[in-house]
Amino acid sequence: MRYSYPPILNPVLKIEKPVKEWSITRILLVLGTPLVALVLLLMTAATSRITTHYLNRASARNAHTRALAQAHELQQLLKEARYELLNLAGSDLTPSAIQRYMMDKPTTKRNKYCEIAFHGTSQADNFVLLNTGEQVWRVPDEQAAAVKFGTFKRKERIGGKIQDFVQVDQPMQVYYTSVPYLGSVENMEFSVIRLSTPVIGENDSFQGYLTLSVDILEIQRIMALFSSRQSPLYIFPQEKERNRSFFFDASGWLICETADPSGPQNRVSIDDIRTGLQGDLGRPGFDSAFRPSPQYEEYWSVVSAVQSGKDGEIGFSNFLHDPNKIGKDHYLYYVPIRFQESPEQDPVIIGGIGCIDTSYMLKTSRHDVATALGISWVSAVLLTFGAFVYLERRISKPLVRLTRATENIALGDTEANLELAPLPRELGHLQHAINILLLQLRNTRNESRIRQGVFLEEMKRQPVCLDTLTDGGTDRDAPQAAEKEFGIVGNSLAVRNLAGMIRKAAHVMADVLIVGETGTGKELAAEAIHRASSRSSGPFISINCGALDENLLMDALFGHVKGAFSEAKTDRKGAFLAATGGTLHLDEIGNASPKVQQALLRALAVRRIRPLGTDQDQPFDARVIAATNVDLRESATNGTFREDLYYRLAVITITTPPLRDRREDIPALVRYFLMEHASGRSIPELSRGALDKLMLHDWPGNIRELKNCITRAMTFAEGSILLSEHIVLGQPTPQAPAASPHIETPTPEARTPRRDETPPKADDRANGPGDALGATPSPMSPPDSDAPPELSVRQRKAWPTIVKNGGTNRAQYQEAVGEEVSVRTAQYDLQELVARGLLKKTGKGPSSRYVLTGRFR
Amino acid identity, position 282:
G
Average pLDDT over every residue of 247-260: 88
- 3 state SS of 772: coil
What tens digit of pLDDT does each residue of 677-726 get? 877 778 888 888 889 999 999 999 999 999 999 988 888 888 788 888 88
Reference 840, options 806, 812, 813; nearest CA is 806
CA pair distance 159, 195, nearest whole angstrom = 12
User: What value, to the nearest 5°, has the Cα angle with vertex 344 and ends 343 and 349?
Assistant: 70
Residue pair 272/263 in contact (Cβ under 8 Å)? The answer is no
CA atoms within 13 A on the CB side of 80: 12
The least confident of 559-573, 598-612, 750-764 is 750-764
Cα 196 to chain centroid, rounded: 91
CA pair distance 409, 416, nearest whole angstrom = 7
Is residue 618 within a helix (H) or strand (E), and if so which, with residue range?
Answer: strand 618-619
Can you give the pLDDT at residue 237?
A: 57
Cα 818 to chain centroid, rounded: 68
Can you give the pLDDT at residue 741?
A: 32
User: What value, to the nearest 5°, has the Cα angle with vertex 611 and ends 617 and 563?
Assistant: 125
Where do the H-state alpha helices sit in 412-492? 425-460, 466-470, 477-486
Can you give the pLDDT at residue 782?
A: 43
Residue pair 508/710 in contact (Cβ under 8 Å)? The answer is no
Question: Is the Cα dihedral 808, 814, 819, 823 positive or negative?
Answer: positive
What tens digit of pLDDT does each residue of 290-307 get? 999 998 888 899 999 999
Is residue 356 within a helix (H) or strand (E), and if so which, with residue range?
Answer: strand 348-357
CA pair distance 836, 10, nearest whole angstrom = 65
Reference 50, options 402, 498, 454, 373; nearest CA is 373
- 3 state SS of 615: coil
Report strand pairing: 172-181 vs 206-215: unpaired
Report strand pairing: 623-628 vs 512-515: parallel
Residue 220 CB coordination number (10 Å) = 24
Can you give the pLDDT at residue 854?
A: 67
Q: Is the pLDDT of residue 149 over 70?
A: no
- 3 state SS of 145: helix
Alpha-carbon Rg for the chain in angstroms: 67
CA pair distance 681, 678, nearest whole angstrom = 5
pLDDT band at 92 (very low <50, low <70, confident <90, very high): confident
Question: Is the Cα dihedral 542, 545, 550, 554 positive or negative?
Answer: positive
Reference 207, options 95, 129, 126; nearest CA is 126
Amino acid identity, position 621:
D
CA pair distance 195, 554, nearest whole angstrom = 161
Can you give the pLDDT at residue 83?
A: 93
Amino acid identity, position 267:
R
What are the DSSP calls for 148-184, one per residue? Answer: TT-GGG--S--S-S-TT--EEPPPEEEEEEEEEETTE
pLDDT band at 464 (very low <50, low <70, confident <90, very high): confident
CA pair distance 182, 134, nearest whole angstrom = 8
Can you give the pLDDT at residue 304?
A: 94
Can you give the pLDDT at residue 339?
A: 93
Q: Is 400 left (phi over 0), alpha (psi -120 to 50) or beta?
A: alpha
Residue pair 544/824 in contact (Cβ under 8 Å)? The answer is yes
422 cis-preceded (ω within 30 degrees of 0): yes
Can you give the pLDDT at residue 599?
A: 92
User: What value, to the nearest 5°, has the Cα angle with vertex 273 and ends 270 and 274?
Assistant: 80
What tens digit of pLDDT does each residue of 488-504 get? 888 889 999 999 999 99
pLDDT band at 550 (very low <50, low <70, confident <90, very high): confident
Average pLDDT over every residue of 133-159: 62
Question: Is the Cα dihedral 7, 11, 12, 14 positive or negative?
Answer: positive
Can you give the pLDDT at residue 161?
A: 46
pLDDT band at 184 (very low <50, low <70, confident <90, very high): confident
Reference 251, options 341, 320, 335, 350; nearest CA is 350
Distances (CA, A) of 399 to 24, 450, 587, 738: 11, 33, 71, 66
- 3 state SS of 586: strand
Question: Is the Cα dihedral 299, 301, 306, 307 positive or negative?
Answer: positive
CA pair distance 529, 236, nearest whole angstrom = 118
pLDDT band at 178 (very low <50, low <70, confident <90, very high): confident
Catalogue the E-assigned strands of 275-325. 279-283, 286-292, 312-315
Can you give the pLDDT at residue 16?
A: 61
What tens digit of pLDDT does each residue of 294-346 get? 988 888 999 999 999 999 888 765 555 455 544 556 678 899 999 998 888 88
The least confident of 407-411, 580-584, 747-751 is 747-751
Can you give the pLDDT at residue 159?
A: 44
Beta-bridged to residue 196, according to DSSP, are: 167, 211
Can you give the pLDDT at residue 77?
A: 93
User: What value, to the nearest 5°, has the Cα angle with vertex 354 and ends 348 and 355?
Assistant: 140
CA pair distance 356, 359, nearest whole angstrom = 9
Can you give the pLDDT at residue 15?
A: 56
CA pair distance 414, 432, nearest whole angstrom = 17
Residue 570 CB coordination number (10 Å) = 10
CA pair distance 545, 599, nearest whole angstrom = 13
- 3 state SS of 565: coil
Instruction: Look up the pTM and report it.
Output: 0.46
Is residue 50 within a helix (H) or strand (E), and if so which, with residue range?
Answer: helix 33-89
**Comparing 14 with 34, which gets the higher pLDDT?**
34
Q: Is 139 left (phi over 0), alpha (psi -120 to 50) or beta?
A: beta
What are the DSSP calls for 810-842, one per residue? Answer: HHHHHHHH-S---HHHHHHHHHHHHHTTSEEEE
Residue pair 233/69 in contact (Cβ under 8 Å)? The answer is yes
Can you give the pLDDT at residue 857?
A: 59
Phi, psi of 574 (to 5 degrees): 90, 165
Average pLDDT over every residue of 583-597: 92
**Comparing 375 with 408, which gets the higher pLDDT?**
375
Distances (CA, A) of 218 to 113, 131, 259, 662: 9, 14, 11, 123
- Which letter, b or e, does each residue of 150-186 get, where b requires 16 or more Cβ atoms within 10 Å of its Cβ? bbeebeeebeeebeebbbbbbbbbbebeebeeeeeee
CA pair distance 531, 540, nearest whole angstrom = 9
Q: Is the pLDDT of residue 383 over 80?
A: yes
The least confident of 450-464, 523-537, 654-668 is 450-464
Q: Is the pLDDT of residue 764 over 70?
A: no
Can you give the pLDDT at residue 582?
A: 93
Residue pair 258/239 in contact (Cβ under 8 Å)? The answer is no
Can you give the pLDDT at residue 154?
A: 40
Residue pair 270/369 in contact (Cβ under 8 Å)? The answer is no
Q: Is the pLDDT of residue 785 over 50?
A: no
DSSP state of 748: G
What tens digit of pLDDT does each residue of 236-247 get? 554 444 567 899
Residue pair 626/479 in contact (Cβ under 8 Å)? The answer is no
Can you give the pLDDT at residue 856?
A: 62
Q: Is the pLDDT of residue 767 over 80?
A: no
CA pair distance 202, 434, nearest whole angstrom = 120
Can you give the pLDDT at residue 601?
A: 92
Report the side by side order of strands in the sheet with 312-315.
279-283, 286-292, 254-257, 243-249, 348-357, 331-339, 312-315
Non-local (6+) Cβ contacts of 253 within 8 A are: 283, 286, 289, 290, 291
The least confident of 450-464, 479-493, 807-821 is 479-493
Report strand pairing: 583-587 vs 540-544: parallel
Can you give the pLDDT at residue 522?
A: 92
Average pLDDT, the chain: 80
Residue 672 CB coordination number (10 Å) = 21
Residue pair 823/786 in contact (Cβ under 8 Å)? The answer is no
pLDDT band at 530 (very low <50, low <70, confident <90, very high): very high
CA pair distance 799, 856, nearest whole angstrom = 11
User: What value, to the nearest 5°, has the Cα angle with vertex 561 and ends 556 and 566?
Assistant: 90
